[in-house]
């Protein structure tokens, strides 16, 4: 690993109480605030990824992989600033040799290493909101870029739907709650990366800091993608009994209503009618098609 001087100063003459400061929407904003606090108070600043000791600590994961999975062909690792993959890459390359391919995985909404790799140097990119907010940084580190240039063999970008699908699959199949950033390697595999290669693949699932609101949205999206939760829009006469007839179709097939929303105002809604959005649980994918056909026969189904 390239030698470097730790990017912080130590002030041993003053003592400060422990405080947690939440600041900014992405890492870069929080880091700038941390720099300000360090300068204002003389506190020690430990960089979260561009630090040789942090990288070495994260490298212990690579040691575990090399010790327990010696037949690994690929190791897929999430990338934010690059500290995690730098440490893991150093360890597995040292212990298992070049036969192991180390692959960086990033969200398409923050392709900082992908662009740096193409440019031959760290660059600042414009980032967009992502469910993988733990890796949303504008640039990788100077030190981590140099390390990654030596140990990373490939980089993969994944979209938001793949990340959500990976989070959902981990919860349902493995009973494992992973944040979006931690689920990136599985998202890459679900997107088709290495499909059909017949290789031994290690996906590093790192991070479980997902808030309940995000988990709720991921679950609904996953159930919807799997045809287990559906949403239909029906246009009904705004008279007693119209909604009952539509809901009777769902009850006939044992669909459970989650939410109903009426809309009567809108140029696209004829006078004397109501647009009704129905969200419901579906026992089986085939049943959804039967429900749709019967509502169409009633002349009510829109989409």
What is the set of domains in the chain, with CATH numbers? 52-222 (3.40.50.1100), 227-297 (3.30.70.260)
Tokens representing 287 are: 């049943």
**What value, to the nearest 5°, has the Cα angle with vertex 54 and ends 53 and 58?**
115
Positive or negative: CA dihedral 269, 274, 280, 282: negative
Percentage of the chain beyond pLDDT 90 is: 66
| pLDDT tens per residue across span 78-111 | 999 999 999 999 999 999 999 999 999 999 999 9
**Per-residue pLDDT, 220:** 87
Give the chain's mean pLDDT: 90
> What is the pLDDT confidence band of residue 10, given thresholds at 50, 70 and 90?
very low
Percentage of the chain beyond pLDDT 70 is: 93
Say yes or no to pLDDT of 298 above 60: yes
Positive or negative: CA dihedral 106, 108, 112, 113: positive
> What is the pLDDT confidence band of residue 9, given thresholds at 50, 70 and 90?
very low
| pLDDT tens per residue across span 163-198 | 999 999 999 999 999 999 999 999 999 999 998 888
> What is the pLDDT confidence band of residue 4, given thresholds at 50, 70 and 90?
very low
**Per-residue pLDDT, 21:** 86
Task: Name beta bridge partners: 256.
Answer: 281
The phi, psi pair for 297, rounded to 5°, reads -60, -30
Short-list 300, 96, 128, CA closest to 202: 96
**Per-residue pLDDT, 16:** 45
Say yes or no to pLDDT of 12 above 80: no
**Per-residue pLDDT, 17:** 55
Say yes or no to pLDDT of 303 above 60: no
**What angle separates helix 83-96 from helix 142-151, to the nearest 10 degrees?**
30
Identity of the highest mean pLDDT range in 239-243, 264-268, 282-286: 239-243
């Amino acid at each position: 690993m390239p030698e470097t001087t730790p990017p912080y100063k130590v002030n041993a003459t003053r003592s400060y109480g422990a405080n947690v400061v939440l600041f900014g929407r992405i890492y870069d904003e929080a880091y700038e605030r941390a720099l300000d606090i360090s300068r204002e108070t003389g506190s020690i600043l430990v960089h979260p990824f561009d630090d040789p000791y942090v990288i070495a600590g994260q490298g212990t994961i690579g040691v575990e992989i090399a010790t327990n999975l010696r037949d690994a062909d690929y190791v897929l690792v999430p990338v934010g600033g690059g500290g995690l993959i730098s440490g893991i890459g150093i360890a597995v390359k040292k212990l298992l040799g070049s036969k192991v391919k180390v692959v960086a995985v990033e969200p398409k909404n923050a392709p900082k290493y992908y662009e740096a790799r193409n440019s031959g140097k760290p660059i600042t990119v414009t980032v967009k909101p992502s469910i993988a907010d733990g890796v949303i940084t504008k640039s990788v580190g100077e030190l981590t870029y140099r390390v990654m240039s030596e140990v990373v063999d490939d980089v993969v970008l994944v979209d938001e739907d793949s990340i959500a699908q990976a989070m959902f699959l981990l919860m349902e199949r493995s009973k494992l709650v992973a944040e979006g950033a931690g689920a990136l390697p599985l998202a890459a595999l679900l997107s088709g990366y290495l499909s059909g290669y017949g290789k031994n693949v290690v996906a590093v699932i790192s991070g479980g800091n997902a808030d309940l609101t995000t988990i709720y949205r991921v679950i609904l999206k996953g159930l919807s993608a799997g045809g287990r939760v559906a949403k239909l829009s029906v246009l009904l006469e705004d008279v007693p009994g119209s909604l009952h007839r539509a809901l009777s179709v769902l009850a006939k097939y044992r669909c459970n209503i989650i939410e109903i929303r009426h809309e009567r105002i809108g140029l696209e809604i004829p006078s004397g009618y109501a647009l009704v959005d129905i969200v419901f649980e579906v026992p089986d994918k085939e049943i959804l098609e039967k429900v749709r056909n019967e509502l169409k026969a009633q002349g009510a189904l829109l989409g």
